[in-house]
């Protein structure tokens, strides 16, 4: 008699397959819906339209300028911080540079308008000096300022560890050779930047290329319209499904190509010590280090902090009681919190499933883990409006039902936050597997006992960060709710956008401050409750 041995499918693999299937069906279904709709559309006529060519050209132009400014300003700021490793408030400054990523885009735009708008602080200051020229925020200038506000701190955050990773021996040799700041940059730091800067620049370009809320709020008219805004206008205002589908496919193709380039240029740093070098840089005592660095750091800090402080100040001076008693605001707050909570839970489940399935015992990765990882980056490759257009076509017969709209908004927010949530979990789970799998197998620890005694203490902090990050991103989302929302479905970001568009600035001041406060409080609370207290 022949016995057939059956191998049980591991539970983590089942979770990973379920997560992969959900992502593939959502993104793949949207893509198939776009291709099906495009079969009856003359794509050449749409792309050949003069206005569409202008939109494509402006999209590339503003993304290129935004990348050039963000990276060009981020490099000297990162060098200045690397030269000044011990000044008071340095850690607070690094925390400040992380805040734009968590700040809802529409809230940051409100702060930028309050400073650089027609009646903003800058123009008021120019008026006090009797200067007739007024700064006009809307158009290309406003888009560039907003993109630099969001991306320059990210560039600094990504580059600073690279500058700090230079071995101490290099600084000793540079000091012995009497190298000045320019020579240090050319000989030591520039080769380092060549390995990582292309990836960072392409990432910034991709984020600016698919930017929606910034261009929607600050574009100022047809002359400053990008592909994302053109898709939104075609679906929501012009009811031109053919143009919306064509632009969504074009956006998807360009986004995939850009992301592919980031993977090609991605490099692992050859010198990344776990501890920062304690040897001082020889150029820290020169004119650049002593005089220019503090000025540069102060300007960068003010540029990032002022819009956020403006939101808080304007909100505190507003009619808090009157606005907070508004029923639409109260319902929008509860609606925003509910959507963010469900989206963050879904994002965490998807990230856990993919991360657990992408490794084997001892931390070895499965041969199909690349497919899991590729599916997880859909939030970067697929723009929100392109994905939303496909989902709109897929669920068109029932999309008018409220529960369908809410479900799509939650799913879109989870997918868009997944690349960032997965990054916080995947490495922690891989490290835990590599360190503990053999020991747990030897001790017979498995299931609930292993989770409680071994895995949870190590994974609760990255899991808390994943939940907090995805909750914060979903709470401030405007793209998904703007596409699928309808009367009675306003969230706080959508309500704030409507108030700003209608010039109800007294109400907008309080709404912006409330959204900013909820965002940071919820992030801190979730990270603390799930992640636990970090002992120093």
Residue 21 lies in a domain: no
List per-residue pLDDT tens for the chain, 536 residues long. Answer: 444 444 455 666 677 778 878 888 888 888 888 888 776 666 667 667 788 888 889 999 999 999 999 999 999 999 888 887 777 887 888 889 989 988 999 999 999 998 988 777 887 887 777 776 677 788 898 999 999 999 999 999 888 888 877 777 777 777 777 777 777 778 777 888 887 888 888 889 988 988 888 998 888 777 788 888 888 888 777 777 777 788 888 887 887 777 777 666 654 444 444 445 555 676 666 666 677 888 899 999 999 999 999 999 988 887 888 888 888 899 999 999 999 999 999 999 988 888 777 665 444 445 555 555 555 555 666 778 888 888 888 888 887 788 888 999 999 999 888 888 887 887 777 777 777 777 777 777 776 677 677 777 888 888 888 899 999 999 999 888 888 877 788 899 999 998 888 888 888 899 999 999 999 999 999 988 887 754 44
pLDDT at 272: 47
DSSP 2: P
- CA-to-CA dists, residue 5 to 2, 8, angstroms: 10, 10
Helices and strands (H, E) in the chain, number of each type: 26, 0
Predicted confidence at residue 485, as pLDDT, reads 79
Please tell me whether residues 374 and 276 are part of one structural domain. Answer: no
Residue 104 is classified by DSSP as -
**Considering the entire predicted model, what is its pTM?**
0.83
Q: What is the DSSP letter of 382?
A: S
Other Cβ atoms closer than 10 A to 6: 6
Same domain for 312 and 325?
no
Do 279 and 322 have their domain in common?
A: no
Res 278: pLDDT: 54
SS3 content of the chain, % helix, strand, coil (to 5): 80, 0, 20
Distance (Å, whole) CA 27 – CA 412: 10
Domain that holds residue 469: 318-535
* Same structural domain, 115 and 131: yes
Nearest to 23 by CA among 474, 378, 344: 378
Report CA dihedral (338, 341, 342, 344) to the nearest 10 degrees.
Answer: 150
| Claim to verify: residue 330 and residue 303 sit in the same structural domain | no
**Cα–chain-centroid distance for residue 303?**
19
Q: What is the pLDDT of residue 359?
A: 63
Q: How far is CA 142 from CA 12, 71, 96, 100, 306, in A?
A: 47, 18, 22, 16, 16
Same domain, 272 and 327: no
177 phi and psi, to 5 degrees? Answer: -85, -5
Instruction: Find the CATH number of the domain harbouring 407.
Output: 1.10.3720.10
384 and 243 within one domain: no
Q: What pLDDT is stored for residue 1 in this prediction?
A: 44
User: Do 365 and 378 belong to one domain?
Assistant: yes
Predicted confidence at residue 69, as pLDDT, reads 96
Q: Residue 33: which of 405, 393, 396, 407 has the closest Cα?
A: 393
Q: Which pLDDT does position 11 carry in this prediction?
A: 63
Residue 367: both structure tokens together: 């041969």
Instruction: State the DSSP string of 249-318.
Output: HHHHHHHHHHHHHHHHH----S---SS---SPPGGGGSHIIIIIHHHHHHHHHHHHHHHHHHHHHHHHTS
How far from the centroid of its chain's Cα atoms is residue 463's Cα?
Answer: 18
Cα distance between residue 438 and residue 433, in whole Å: 8
CA distances in angstroms from 33 to 28, 230, 363, 393, 483, listed in the order given: 8, 19, 38, 6, 17
420: CB partners within 8 A, 6+ apart: 379, 469, 470, 473
How many domains is the chain partitioned into structurally?
2
Q: Which of 316, 342, 374 is the last residue of a domain?
A: 316
Same domain, yes or no, for 273 and 400? Answer: no
Terminal-residue alpha carbon distance, the chain: 63
Domain annotation covers residue 154: yes
Dist. CA 71–CA 66, nearest whole Å: 8
Residue 5: predicted pLDDT: 47
CA atoms of 311 and 508, how far apart (whole Å): 10
Q: Is residue 27 part of a domain?
A: no
Residue 494 lies in a domain: yes
Q: Which two tokens stand for residue 212?
A: 């929606």
**With contact defined as beta carbons under 8 Å apart, do 200 and 158 qualify?**
yes
Q: Locate 19 and state its tokens.
A: 């997560």
Residues 201, 337: one domain? no
| 141 inside domain | yes
Domain presence at residue 373: yes
The whole-angstrom separation of Cα 338 and Cα 344 is 10
The secondary structure of 11-32 as a DSSP string is HHHHHHHHHHHHHHHHHHHHHH
User: Looking at 316, 335, 354, which one is the last position of a domain?
Assistant: 316
167 shares its domain with 257: yes
Give Cα separations from 478 to 251, 304, 482 (angstroms). Answer: 19, 21, 6
Check if the beta carbon of residue 90 is closer than 8 Å to that of residue 460.
no
Alpha helices (H) in 266-292, listed in sequence order:
287
Q: Are 463 and 530 in contact (CB under 8 A)?
A: yes
Question: Is the same domain home to 387 and 509?
Answer: yes
Q: Domain ends where: 316, 344, 374?
A: 316
């Amino acid at each position: 008699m022949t016995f057939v041995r059956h191998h049980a499918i591991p539970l983590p693999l089942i979770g990973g397959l379920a997560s992969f299937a959900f992502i593939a069906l959502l993104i793949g279904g949207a893509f198939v819906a776009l291709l099906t709709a495009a079969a009856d559309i003359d794509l050449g006529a749409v792309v050949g339209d003069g206005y569409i060519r202008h939109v494509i050209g402006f999209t590339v132009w503003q993304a290129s300028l935004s990348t050039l400014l963000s990276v060009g300003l981020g490099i000297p700021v990162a060098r200045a911080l690397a030269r000044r490793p011990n000044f008071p408030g340095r850690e607070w400054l690094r925390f400040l540079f992380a805040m734009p990523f968590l700040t809802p885009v529409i809230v940051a735009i409100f702060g930028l308008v309050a400073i650089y708008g027609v009646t903003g602080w800058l123009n008021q200051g120019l008026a006090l000096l009797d200067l007739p020229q007024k700064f006009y925020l809307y158009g290309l200038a406003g888009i560039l300022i907003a993109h630099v506000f969001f991306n320059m701190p990210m560039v600094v955050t990504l580059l600073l560890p690279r500058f700090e990773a230079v071995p101490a021996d290099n600084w000793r040799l540079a000091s012995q050779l009497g190298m000045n700041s320019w020579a240090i940059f050319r000989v030591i730091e520039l080769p380092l930047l060549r390995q990582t800067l292309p990836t960072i620049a392409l990432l910034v370009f991709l984020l600016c290329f698919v930017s929606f809320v910034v261009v929607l709020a600050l574009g100022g008219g047809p002359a400053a319209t990008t592909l994302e805004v053109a898709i939104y206008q075609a679906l929501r205002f012009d009811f031109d499904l053919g143009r919306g589908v064509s632009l969504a496919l074009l956006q998807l193709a360009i986004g995939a190509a850009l992301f592919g380039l980031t993977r090609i240029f991605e490099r692992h740093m050859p010198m990344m010590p776990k501890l920062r070098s304690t040897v001082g840089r020889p150029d820290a005592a020169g004119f650049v280090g002593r005089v220019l660095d503090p000025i540069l750091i102060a300007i960068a800090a003010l540029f990032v902090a002022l819009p956020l402080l403006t939101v808080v100040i304007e909100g505190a001076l507003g009619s808090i009681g009157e606005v907070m008693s508004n029923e639409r605001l109260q319902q929008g707050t509860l609606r925003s919190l509910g959507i963010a909570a469900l989206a963050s839970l879904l994002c965490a489940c998807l990230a856990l499933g993919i991360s657990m399935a992408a490794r084997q015992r001892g931390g070895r990765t499965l041969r199909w883990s690349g497919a899991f990882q590729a599916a997880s980056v859909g939030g970067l490759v697929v723009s929100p409006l392109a994905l939303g257009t496909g989902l709109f076509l897929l669920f068109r017969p029932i999309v008018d039902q409220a529960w369908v709209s809410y479900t799509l908004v939650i799913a879109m927010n989870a997918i868009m936050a997944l690349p960032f949530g997965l990054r916080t979990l995947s490495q922690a789970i891989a490290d835990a597997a590599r360190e503990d799998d053999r020991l747990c197998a030897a001790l017979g620890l498995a299931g609930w006992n292993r989770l409680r005694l071994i895995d949870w203490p190590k994974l609760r902090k990255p899991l808390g960060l994943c939940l907090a990050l995805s909750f914060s991103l979903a709470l401030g989302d405007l793209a998904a709710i703007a596409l699928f929302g309808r009367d009675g479905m306003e969230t706080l970001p959508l309500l704030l956008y409507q108030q700003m568009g209608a010039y109800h600035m007294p109400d907008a001041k309080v709404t912006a401050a409330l959204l900013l406060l909820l965002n940071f409080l919820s992030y801190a609370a979730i990270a603390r409750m799930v992640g636990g207290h970090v002992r120093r």
